[in-house]
Amino acid sequence: MPETTAEIIAYHERTKHHPESYAAGPHGLNWATQPNPFRRFANAPLFRLPLTSRDQTPAAASLFGAAPVALRPLSLEALSLFFELSLGLSARKKIADSSWYLRMNPSSGNLHPTEAYAVLPEFAGFLGGAGVYHYAALDHALEQRTRWPQAATSVAQGFHVALTSITWREAWKYGERAFRYCQHDVGHALAALRFAATVLGWRVQLLPEWDDAHLAPLLGLDRPQDFVDVEPETPELLIRVIVNEVAAKPLSPAADPGIEWFGRANRLSDSHVEWPAIDEAIRSSERKNPRAAPLRVGDWPAWSDASPPNCGHTAGQLIRQRRSAVEFDGATHLARDRFLAILDTTLPRPTAPPFDGWPFAPRVNLVLFVHRVTGLEPGLYLWLRAPADAEALRQAFDSKLKWEAVSEPVDSTPLYRLGGGDVRDFARTLSCHQDIAADGAFSLGMLARFEPVLREHGAAAYRELFWETGMIGQALYLAAEAAGVRGTGIGCYFDDVLHHALGVTGYDWQSLYHFTIGAPVEDVRLRTAPPYAHLAGEV
């Protein structure tokens, strides 16, 4: 086993929560050092994006490839809507004298370690010209990091978006386990970008050949003069946003003496706590060898057409109303057809968002704890997103678990009953004793093919596994809203408790993320304000 692969597995093991001990973290929160959730670049040219008051987005079903979408050309207004619906602010919450912002893309603890950069060509209506721009969510604006001569980019009728992580934002609250949560958030953001592109009739493609060594200079992350005594950013990924399929071309990294750089990053906290385990995990999982991983059509499971929950909302309405539930009522049942429609959105289809731009075979399956689904016996279930894993999972699971197909055909409903009975107490205990895992209609754990993937593709695939779980989580969030309920991701769970319950040993399979869905209980103390009222001079 390569040394870096062994190192990332060791990190994963040391950051597991156990009933008798949790992963290393801070002893209480130091509110004086709470990180600023908004990175800014001082003295960088700022280009505000226009907000629109009208919703002209297509039907919500279009988000999952189940309704047509008209193609919109690249324009300032379209670019603005793309960023608003993916990474923009969704609301401002207030309670007593405190207030905070929510965003379209969810984040562990609402800490938002993910930063985004647009690599833009020249196009009509945009004054900045070709270059790299940091997306400033608070002002819904683009901060120019570089200005390129037009010849420096070969992008035509499309553009690129890069994502980075500021791990300190998560480590401030979660300690060593924070690197995991940063990767969840990258996956959520990746899917959010794909869903926003869908609204405009655009397509998104992840470019795994762009390794860290190419991303860092493209974004200026390797320029110490721009990051003086501030929290560093880790390059994560680059996507191509395809507006015109015919004209879209790859981005070619090249040094150019004509490139101008602007801006200096702000400091997010006055002081920091060092977590060497996170630094080691970043180094171990760094992409060092560019690799393309195109999927052949035959690599995709042959799922039937998408069948998301019926919903009368537009795509824009659904995205804007997404929230993370904090409490469920413990009583409401979910109809079986809605339950299956929610799960349907997680199936990787080559022609349906969000996985149509994902270049890897599916590696994550869902272990379900069904509590309140009308017409479905409570118990333990498996949603087999990767049919190729069926035999390996049968061998890995306890032989006492059943494999009863719930309905036929399994090529449209790959749901298997593993065992019946009330699993609410187990789900609660499994998720660090959180009631929210038991009080909803169902909860789940995302079980990933683990060590075999790392052996084949290297330690960098560790991040990819978490990205896939984050993408699944984002699909579940929107599907839950479409079904009239609500979801929330769960990062605190006892990893090996689930493994033991399933009979899983070793590292072939690991649980990487949990999720729960149900009828929310709203906190009546909270007030909600429009997200961008501050831009209009409102209070």
Task: Write the burial class of residue 402 (CB in 10 Å: 0-12 exposed, 13-18 middle, 19+ buried).
Answer: middle
The pLDDT of residue 253 is above 60: no
| Predicted local confidence at residue 310, as pLDDT | 94
pTM of the model as a whole: 0.96
- With b for 16 or more beta-carbon neighbours within 10 A and e for fewer, the 496-517 pattern comes to bbbbebbebeeebbbbbbbbbb
| Predicted local confidence at residue 151, as pLDDT | 54
| Predicted local confidence at residue 198, as pLDDT | 98
Instruction: Please state, in angstroms and rounded to a whole number, the distance separating the CA atoms of residues 230 and 198.
Output: 36
pLDDT digits (tens, 9 = 90+) for 343-357: 999 999 998 999 999
Across the range 318-335, mean pLDDT stands at 97
Alpha helices in 355-449 (DSSP H): 390-396, 424-430
Across the range 50-61, mean pLDDT stands at 92
Instruction: Please state, in angstroms and rounded to a whole number, the distance separating the CA atoms of residues 67 and 383.
Output: 25
Tell whether omega for the bond before 50 is within 30 degrees of 0, i.e. cis.
Answer: no
* pLDDT band at residue 537 under the 50/70/90 scheme: low
The pLDDT of residue 154 is above 80: no
* pLDDT band at residue 539 under the 50/70/90 scheme: very low
Across the range 111-121, mean pLDDT stands at 97
| Predicted local confidence at residue 245, as pLDDT | 76
Across the range 256-266, mean pLDDT stands at 89
The pLDDT of residue 129 is above 60: yes
| Predicted local confidence at residue 256, as pLDDT | 66
The pLDDT of residue 303 is above 80: yes
Contacts of 3 (CB under 8 A, 6+ apart): none
Of 114, 193, 488, nearest in space to 356 by CA: 193
Which of 210-224, 291-305, 394-408, 415-429 shows the lowest per-residue confidence on average (mean pLDDT)?
291-305
Of 361, 306, 400, nearest in space to 64 by CA: 306
The pLDDT of residue 4 is above 70: yes
With pLDDT > 70 as the criterion, what percentage of the chain qualifies?
A: 94
Of 307, 315, 447, 295, nearest in space to 356 by CA: 295
pLDDT digits (tens, 9 = 90+) for 15-39: 999 999 999 999 899 999 999 999 9
Question: In this structure, what token pair is assigned to residue 230?
Answer: 């501030």
| Predicted local confidence at residue 150, as pLDDT | 66
Contacts of 284 (CB under 8 A, 6+ apart): 4, 5, 7, 8, 11, 459, 462
Crossing angle of helices 178-199/276-284, nearest 10°? 50
Q: What are phi and psi of 452, to 5 degrees?
A: -60, -35
The pLDDT of residue 331 is above 70: yes
| Predicted local confidence at residue 250, as pLDDT | 67
86 Cα distance to chain centroid: 11
Of 460, 112, 483, nearest in space to 322 by CA: 483
CB 138 within 8 A of CB 156: no
Domains of the chain: 44-284 (3.40.109.10), 297-518 (3.40.109.10)
| Predicted local confidence at residue 347, as pLDDT | 96
Instruction: Please state, in angstroms and rounded to a whole number, the distance separating the CA atoms of residues 314 and 59.
Output: 4
Residue 214's CB is within 10 A of a number of other CB atoms, namely 17
Across the range 199-211, mean pLDDT stands at 95
* Gyration radius (Cα) of the chain, Å: 22
pLDDT digits (tens, 9 = 90+) for 492-524: 999 999 999 999 999 999 999 999 999 999 988
CA distances from 140 to 40, 49, 52, 81, 330 (A): 12, 6, 12, 10, 38
Instruction: Please state, in angstroms and rounded to a whole number, the distance separating the CA atoms of residues 392 and 22.
Output: 30
Partner residues linked to 383 by β-bridges: 366, 415
Which amino acid belongs to residue 192? A
| Predicted local confidence at residue 246, as pLDDT | 67
